[in-house]
Structure 1
């Protein structure tokens, strides 16, 4: 697919697939088009050409709300929690497309079990949380819509190394429980260590794809992204 910002083309004939149950990672430098791709999948941008299919359903003409209802949730870069709302209000907002209140309450409990710190701070304003706690809240909020595909944009950005490890353990656990994940991550070593497959994007074009091992052992990738 091709995606434009006004007259400027951001993605060129991009094609990728994420199979059910996988973690797929997209690696590339800043400005390569990674976030643009996630925004297009979640309906915030529309492709000029091409289509996006999820479970045999064409998402291209759907609104962002319809896409959430279809089973896709997006954790944007920079977390984007609602700072003037409490932790619990942020989480409940993640379930706004759902009508099954009793199941929503169950999922709230599951999120609090997974993120005990959020439970401790459940009545605190989200803007007063640390960066790591806000990232947990953003992921928890996305999980409240019960997504089958989770789009994660730079989940470790700005976090201390110990928290990065914690966030990646959470990503593996979410995937092990059955959620498919498309992951964008500056920390390419970390991303490749948890992903099944990887794509490399440069200036809006996919230039390489393969299993995580294949991509990690590619000399150009080592040099550009893995500190080799």
Structure 2
């Protein structure tokens, strides 16, 4: 579904990604783990068209999308849940969700998907008329995920969905990620909570200083001494 071929990405003169290659197959949850500053968010921003690779390319459903504008990529069926939620604080929950569907014209489908988002996140239904800036961190994360789902993506990119959340809320968010995947949406997950990420993923990559250093099934990486020492607290 997604193929990243040897991409180099720069911020000015500073190289953030060095020859990164990875693939995501339809129906999978693939996770990308790594320390802060490893380049994980940079990779997701490149995939969703917010950054352009200097070399290499990104193929999505057989088409080259690297260098295409973000809205074209969303239209093709890829949504991005950004790090730090990025909800529109001065708009209501419902208005944020409506914005997620801004490229769609199928009114009946949009209404159906809105109902489904409220099924997945009952808390959002309770707060639908509330300004999203007044929500808790966990509720804002649910809203960011719901907004991305309103675009009806085939592939959803999630950047640090558990960041800054209480353990119970983290558990709830990961249950929803599994549910979304079970309903047919492919997931590429960037996550610092390596233990949780590897427990829901099918496959995983480890990114260090802008390079992929390990790849394999989630089970293999969970059992790797290297990964345990670096990311799982020696568990």
Q: Which has the higher strand share?
A: 2
Distance 1:114 1:179 in 2: 14
Asked if 1:200 is matched to 2:203, the reply is no
Give the TM-score taking structure 2 as reference length. Answer: 0.96
Aligned residue number for residue 184 of structure 1: 190
Q: Which runs of 4+ in 1 moved over 3 A?
A: none
Distance 1:148 1:102 in 2: 19
Give the TM-score taking structure 1 as reference length. Answer: 0.99
Aligned residue number for residue 79 of structure 1: 85
Asked if 1:219 is matched to 2:225, the reply is yes
Asked if 1:91 is matched to 2:100, the reply is no
Asked if 1:6 is matched to 2:12, the reply is yes
Runs (5+) with no aligned partner, structure 2: 1-6
Deviation digits for residues 11-61 of structure 1 (CA, Å, limit 9, x no counterpart): 000000000000000010000000000000000000000110010011013
Among 1, 6, 31, the residue aligned to 1:25 = 31
1:102 Cα deviation (Å)? 1.4
Number of residue pairs matched by the alignment:
228
Aligned residue number for residue 139 of structure 1: 145
SS at match of 2:23: coil
Two-structure CA RMSD over aligned residues (Å): 0.5
Runs (5+) with no aligned partner, structure 1: none
